[in-house]
Amino acid sequence: MKIHDKFYINGQWVAPSGTGKISVIDPSTEEVCGEVPSGDNNDVNAAVAAAKEAFKTWGQSSAAERSELLKVLAAKITENMQTIGELCALELGTPIEASVAIHGGMGVGVVSSYVDVPFEMEQEEQLANSVVVKEPIGVCAFITPWNFPLHQIVAKVMPALAAGCTMVLKPSSDTPLTAYYFTELMAEVGFPAGVFNLVTGPGRTVGEAMCTHPDVDLVSLTGSTEAGQRVGQLGAQSVKRVCLELGGKSASVVLDDADVAQAAGSAGGAICMNSGQVCAALSRLIVPRGKQDEAVAAAKAAIESVPVGGAFEKGSVMGPLASKSQLDTVVGYIQKGIDEGATLVTGGTTPPEGRSTGYFVQPTIFCDVRNDMAIAQEEIFGPVLAIIPYDTEEEAIEIANDSVFGLSGAVWSGDEDHAKRVARQIRAGQVTINGADFNLIAPFGGYKQSGNGRELGPHGLTEFIELKSMHL
């Protein structure tokens, strides 16, 4: 069992203010696999004070200094990709091979992509008699989720470091072990004391204390829409900059000229990635009504070929859900889909065969789904695919946009220009065409209730920049 009993504040591992503990549960076995301290307002105050003091010098550091440290960190993450994958497998439940490739690999990709980004801060713009310069916003508070324990941390930490900001991180209480390991690597790199600080604890205490602290200049949250609303309300009290990456109910639109079997097969396999616990998951498959049977057959074949098992079991492709509460939520939505009258194609509310221990759920497909059903409108955050038929292309686009969310989307077509024309009409922050790869340096974020702001790549830097006009 991995036990941590200190916070990382001002370059030191320090004892917490209180005595509270958080147990970390292995979702594959339901056994306790770790323990971390539960912080309070005093811990947050100490971490923010350290970050505020460190900003006086780190905020004035050169791009070359920051770039050099980021280069060392990138090497550290790369060297320890296997360990990162193992920790994510342990506390999240992602099968080990996928965990190393996805959780470790995405971490490597994001960290490496920011090595040269600090030099963006030195670019100036001349506007008539004014020079516009970029400056770091200051002290940042980061609240990260459990579904991508490293990626969601570095997506915030890296651009903040590149800009010259200092920070306090509060990772999810469900998956804090990866955050502790990342902190150990940060300490080895040798960033100045106070630049990066780690405090764990519940959102209602540690998270809210960070959001309301007068010396925090920016709060960045990745989480549910409800959490985003709360953070937005708290941050508004002191007019902080609030960056929110929230939920999604993303649609994959299969046009009439597409290879329906390919698109549906891709959707069936993709919804199982990370057990469906992906904010940008393409959980709605919108298909021509006359081709729904073909889509159902292809998606069913794909999803039923996915082996479900524990994170460290050989051959597992989809692991358990992250927690008992998440399992209850997903099973509840599957039952709701049945009750609403959608056709259950495969899966259901019972655990996979032979899985009496662990938070396992069957990968599930519904067809004949109406877009007003709860399983088409609400984020399930599990391996549940809703297939929705349409009659006209205009109706398909309308269905895709008929959502409070707008995080991602997809279009499939035999004609790329046709796909791009439709993609431009989908109100989402990113749209994948014909199964293209995810791009770690393209801006990531959503429209509508999927949040505000953008993460990743050079565009991710903009969240952490203040613009200053100097009139000459």
Distance CA 334, CA 374 (A): 10
- Could you tell me which residues come within 8 angstroms of residue 84 by beta carbon, excluding any fewer than 6 positions away? 77, 100, 103, 104, 107, 150, 178, 181, 182
Q: Residue 306 gets which letter from DSSP?
A: S
Distance CA 399, CA 256 (A): 15
What does each C-alpha distance from 61 to 177, 180, 344, 366 come to in angstroms? Answer: 31, 26, 58, 54
CA 123 to chain centre: 30
Sign of CA dihedral 433, 435, 440, 446: positive
Q: SS3 of 11, please?
A: coil
Instruction: With beta carbons less than 8 A apart as the criterion, state whether 372 and 340 touch.
Output: no
Distance CA 295, CA 215 (A): 53
Instruction: With beta carbons less than 8 A apart as the criterion, state whether 384 and 334 touch.
Output: yes
Instruction: With beta carbons less than 8 A apart as the criterion, state whether 53 and 197 touch.
Output: no
What does each C-alpha distance from 435 to 263, 267, 409, 411 come to in angstroms? Answer: 8, 9, 11, 8
Q: Which residues pair with 198 in a beta bridge?
A: 8, 169
279 is catalytic: yes
What does each C-alpha distance from 298 to 293, 318, 362, 388 come to in angstroms? Answer: 9, 19, 17, 15
Q: Tokens representing 84?
A: 């990162």
Provide the pairing of β-strand 284-288 with 384-390. Answer: parallel
CA 265 to chain centre: 24
Distance CA 262, CA 422 (A): 19
End-to-end CA distance of the chain: 61
The burial of 181, by beta-carbon neighbours within 10 Å (0-12 exposed, 13-18 middle, 19 or more buried), is given as: buried
Q: Which of 86, 245, 379, 455 is catalytic?
A: 245
Q: Which of 279, 367, 379, 455 is catalytic?
A: 279
Distance CA 364, CA 387 (A): 11
379 is catalytic: no
Q: Tokens representing 280?
A: 């940008």
Amino acid at 73: L
Which residue spans within 281-322 are E strands per DSSP?
A: 284-288
Q: Residue 360 gets which letter from DSSP?
A: -
Annotated catalytic sites, by residue?
245, 279
